[in-house]
């Protein structure tokens, strides 16, 4: 069946086409058409001038609307995925927390079952955040379950459900060997909850480190005599940078500084959303820790540390546009294309012939009008 989305403002990396159309057959984009000479189709959808962009790729998200990946429940995963679709996310990496080994195995099994059921977001893999982190930088990760790097544990999880990203502290004993082992399995390692020096980050890059997790948070700061993880991220072009674009985890000025100093092809917007997203006020659990949500900000009940974010993906794009004033043809790289390139996700992240019809239709205020996965409205 051929579908035609008409009267759209099509925004893709390097492309901003007003009054354009997308022809879809089955789950793929057949062509992008400018002007009024439209091809025939079995079904037409009038975009009414709204923005049509590649569906967002959220590579770091723990939960939404009272549900968490670590609930160890397929129903929770499906609930989170439905909320993600309402944010315009078409590809999602369910993200775990620092938990016991057997619990992580069970969670991985549930994620694999969720992937196999299909029908919601795409789920090419999972993001394992922890448990190999630095207790001094645990933040909202449960220090009770922190442990030293163990490649056998990663292999076991990866055999159950592909681990596309492993977030760890690269200064820990055995971390460099683990990073090298992960590289052989095509697992991208990311520095997280780390007290590493810049030299330790550079050494980890030599071993295969590729990302920095929730940049600026739970990592060593920039100092003029030791530039830390933040400075290493600015200097080393081998590193892709996760940014939480909520204006809280990174202030608007910090976001402007990041976009001024780091090439845009290295930046990836994430939500790092937890069960508190979609909730304005209330209390949730995060990896066994109590979290209070007030004015859509989640903090640990004990100590007050930020406990993940409540960011919705479409709101993150809106803030980035307000803060940076960069053209959407550039910012769209940060919401999907860079993630696809970094993780080797084929045929997503662009609106072009041959790509999957994973699309989000946005109103002018960046609220989500429709989300399509493989050409099907979800």
Q: How far apart are CA 306 and CA 51, in angstroms?
A: 33
Q: How far apart are CA 121 and CA 94, in angstroms?
A: 11
CA 159 to chain centre: 22
Report which of 154, 212, 164, 170 is spatially closest to residue 187, judged by C-alpha positions.
164
Q: How far apart are CA 196 and CA 107, in angstroms?
A: 29
CB-count burial class (<10 Å; 0-12, 13-18, 19+) for 232: buried
Report which of 309, 229, 323, 231 is spatially closest to residue 270, judged by C-alpha positions.
309
Active site residues: 272
* C-beta separation of 38 from 45 below 8 A: no
Q: Using CA atoms of 337, 377, 246, 114 in order, give the dihedral in degrees to the nearest 10.
A: -80
Report which of 323, 255, 326, 259 is spatially closest to residue 16, judged by C-alpha positions.
326
Report which of 84, 69, 79 is spatially closest to residue 271, judged by C-alpha positions.
84
Residue whose entry in the numeric block shows the structure tokens 């901003």: 16
Residue environment code for 26-63, b if the CB has 16+ CB neighbours within 10 A, otherwise e: eeebbebbeeeeeeebeeebebeebbbbbbbbbbbbbb
Helix (H) or strand (E) holding 233: helix 228-235
């Amino acid at each position: 069946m051929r579908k035609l989305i008409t009267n759209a403002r099509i925004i893709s990396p390097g492309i901003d086409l007003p009054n354009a159309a997308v022809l879809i057959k089955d789950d793929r984009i057949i062509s992008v058409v400018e002007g009024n000479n439209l091809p025939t189709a079995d079904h037409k959808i009038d975009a009414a001038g709204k923005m049509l962009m590649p569906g967002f790729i959220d590579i770091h998200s723990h939960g939404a609307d009272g549900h968490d990946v670590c609930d160890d429940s397929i129903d929770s995963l499906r609930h989170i995925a439905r909320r993600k679709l309402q944010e315009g996310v078409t590809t999602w990496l369910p993200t775990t927390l620092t938990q016991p080994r057997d619990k992580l195995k069970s969670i991985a099994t549930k994620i694999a079952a969720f992937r196999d059921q299909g029908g919601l977001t795409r789920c090419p893999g999972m993001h394992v955040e922890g448990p190999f982190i630095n207790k001094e930088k645990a933040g909202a990760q449960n220090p009770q379950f922190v442990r030293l790097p163990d490649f056998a544990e990663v292999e076991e999880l990866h055999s159950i459900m592909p681990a596309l990203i492993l977030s760890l502290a690269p200064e820990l004993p055995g971390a460099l060997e683990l990073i090298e082992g992960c590289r052989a399995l095509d697992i991208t390692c990311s520095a997280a909850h780390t007290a590493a020096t810049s030299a330790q980050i550079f050494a980890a890059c030599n071993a295969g480190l590729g990302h920095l997790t929730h940049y600026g948070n739970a990592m060593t700061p920039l100092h003029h005599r030791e530039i830390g993880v933040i400075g290493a991220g600015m200097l080393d072009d081998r590193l892709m940078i996760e940014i939480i674009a909520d204006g809280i985890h990174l202030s608007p000025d910090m976001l402007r500084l990041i976009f001024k100093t780091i090439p845009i092809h290295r930046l990836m917007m994430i939500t790092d959303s937890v069960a508190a997203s979609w909730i304005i006020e209330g209390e949730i659990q995060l990896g066994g820790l109590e979290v209070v949500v007030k004015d859509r900000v989640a903090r640990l009940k004990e100590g007050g540390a930020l406990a993940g974010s409540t960011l919705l993906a479409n709101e993150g794009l809106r803030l980035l546009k307000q803060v940076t004033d960069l053209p959407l043809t550039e910012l769209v790289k940060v919401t999907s294309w860079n993630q696809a390139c970094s993780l080797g996700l084929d045929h997503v992240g662009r609106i072009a012939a041959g790509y999957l019809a994973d699309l989000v239709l946005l109103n002018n205020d960046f609220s989500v009008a429709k989300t399509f996965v493989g050409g099907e409205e979800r």
